């Protein structure tokens, strides 16, 4: 019997879909609504000591659209604006009302042992199920020496993880930054320092664009901007790569995220190592109600594959990731053109010619493949406006 239930470090999830730490988890009443709609859990918007200044800019978002679809999303937002007491009351309220839902307290503090340990002690018995250490916010916080300034430094990441583990009575996940040369180096350091699990990815440092009339960058804050964090559909390949690299090098549980908009994205994250997944941007652009389709889609897929639970899917693709030098280069594929769909526009012919290989010709209303010239790169299949080309 297929079920979406899964368990990580002794924490039971009724389904593997969590809201990521972000605006959808910034208010208690919103999380309450999300839980009622079926989300399995929520990572709370990052909580900081009350005296840490948090002054937001307006506007704080910029997007890259493809038609009406938001593909890429940049934000320069800071962290939670609720006080510690408001969170303590809120977590307790939510736990009483939704005892089966998982709440993960995302925390950040200045690089001072007592500050981090106070945060942990404050939330140890709050009703939260775990901690997520935000070592990865790429804007605003690094200027204060925290956020990504921590997560890009293996030594400091390990030191703070150690401080936290000294006093934590709940499992500790470390949320890693993709803005590093080698994410595994940071993961290994925090694992050695006692982290119980990993979370990845936070947003990717970015600059959404520049208005070419007045040379004001986006998001525009009174004519100026700052580098922000990129998320949404466009970042999925980077998130998947990071999670796969983490899994190749660690057995720790992984909370995977970055660009998940459909159940199949979540399934791919699990296949490369995620135990459960988190979603932020897709919820910000389409609302909490997407949970219904996510759950149904994943459940149907698990059943179709004969898997009992998300745990059966975990890591399934890892053995198929290898070094370039180990790939089987003896095998070559060629384009196969579906003549019923092809509109003979000739785009594939032009592109193949102008991008090195000149292996395609349009003869008598049919695309011919010269197998002596074709290298099976697959470019033609990606540029065909009618998806009439598949690689066989």
Ligand X SMILES: Cc1cc2nc3c(=O)[nH]c(=O)nc-3n(C[C@H](O)[C@H](O)[C@H](O)COP(=O)(O)O)c2cc1C
Catalog residues that contact ligand X under the rule CB under 6 A.
20-23, 45-46, 73, 75, 77, 79, 106, 134, 137, 175, 202-203, 231-232, 235, 257-260, 279-282
Q: Which is nearer to ligand X, 159 or 277 (CB)?
A: 277
Catalytic-role residue among 71, 137, 280, 380:
137
* Least separation in angstroms between CB 391 and ligand X: 29
Q: Which is nearer to ligand X, 262 or 333 (CB)?
A: 262
Q: Calculate helix-pair angle for 84-97, 28-37, nearest 10 degrees.
A: 20
* Least separation in angstroms between CB 94 and ligand X: 18
* Least separation in angstroms between CB 97 and ligand X: 23
Q: How far apart are the first and last CA of the chain?
A: 36
* Least separation in angstroms between CB 251 and ligand X: 22
Distance CA(268)–CA(24), nearest Å, equals 23
Q: Which is nearer to ligand X, 47 or 388 (CB)?
A: 47
* Least separation in angstroms between CB 257 and ligand X: 4
The residue assigned the tokens 């937002």 is 77
Q: Which is nearer to ligand X, 146 or 384 (CB)?
A: 146
What DSSP line would sit under 85-125, residue for residue? HHHHHHHHHHHHH-TTSEEEEEE---S-HHHHHHHHHHHHT
Tokens encoding 147:
């956020």
Tokens encoding 392:
């066989």
Distance CA(275)–CA(255), nearest Å, equals 6
* Least separation in angstroms between CB 29 and ligand X: 18
Strands 11-13 and 41-43, bridge-based pairing: unpaired
Give catalytic status of residue 137 as yes or no. Answer: yes
Q: Which is nearer to ligand X, 235 or 337 (CB)?
A: 235
Q: Which of 236, 246, 137, 139 is nearest to 189 (CA)?
A: 246
Q: Which is nearer to ligand X, 76 or 349 (CB)?
A: 76
Q: Which of 219, 215, 103 is nearest to 170 (CA)?
A: 103
Distance CA(172)–CA(144), nearest Å, equals 23
Find out whether 186 and 162 touch, Cβ atoms under 8 Å. Answer: no
> Annotated catalytic sites, by residue?
137
């Amino acid at each position: 019997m297929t079920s979406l239930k899964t368990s990580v470090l002794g924490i039971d999830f009724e389904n593997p879909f969590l809201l990521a730490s972000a605006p959808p988890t910034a208010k208690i009443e919103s999380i309450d609504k999300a839980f009622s709609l079926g989300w399995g859990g929520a990572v709370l918007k990052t909580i900081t000591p009350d005296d840490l200044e948090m002054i937001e800019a307006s506007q704080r978002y910029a997007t890259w659209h493809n038609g009406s679809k938001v593909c890429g999303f940049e934000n320069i937002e800071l962290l939670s604006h609720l006080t510690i007491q408001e969170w303590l009351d809120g977590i307790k309220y939510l736990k009483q009302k939704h005892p089966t839902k998982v709440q993960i307290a995302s925390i950040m503090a200045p690089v001072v042992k007592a500050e981090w340990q106070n945060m942990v002690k404050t939330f140890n018995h709050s009703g939260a199920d775990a901690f997520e250490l935000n070592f990865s916010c790429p804007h605003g916080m690094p200027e204060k020496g925290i956020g990504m300034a921590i997560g890009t430094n293996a030594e400091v990441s390990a030191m703070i993880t150690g401080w936290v583990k000294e006093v934590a009575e709940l499992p500790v996940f470390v949320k890693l930054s993709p803005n590093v040369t080698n994410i595994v180096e940071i993961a290994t350091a925090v694992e050695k320092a006692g982290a119980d699990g990993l979370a990845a990815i936070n947003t990717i440092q970015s600059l959404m664009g520049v208005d070419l009339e007045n040379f004001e960058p986006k998001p525009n804050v009174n004519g100026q901007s700052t580098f922000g964090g990129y998320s949404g559909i466009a970042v999925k390949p980077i998130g998947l790569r990071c999670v796969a690299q983490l899994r190749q090098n660690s057995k720790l549980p992984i909370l995977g995220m970055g660009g998940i908009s459909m159940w199949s994205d979540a399934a791919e994250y699990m296949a490369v190592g995620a135990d459960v997944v988190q979603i932020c941007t897709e919820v910000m652009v389409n609302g909490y109600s997407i949970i219904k389709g996510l759950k149904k889609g994943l459940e149907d897929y698990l059943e179709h594959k004969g898997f009992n639970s998300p745990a059966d899917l975990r890591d399934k693709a890892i053995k198929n990731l290898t070094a370039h030098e180990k790939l089987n280069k003896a095998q070559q594929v060629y384009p196969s053109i579906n003549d019923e769909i092809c509109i003979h526009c000739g785009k594939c012919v032009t592109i193949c010619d102008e991008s090195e290989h000149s292996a395609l010709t349009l003869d008598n209303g049919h695309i011919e493949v010269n197998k002596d010239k074709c290298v099976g790169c697959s470019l033609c299949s990606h540029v065909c406006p009618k998806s009439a080309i598949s690689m066989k």
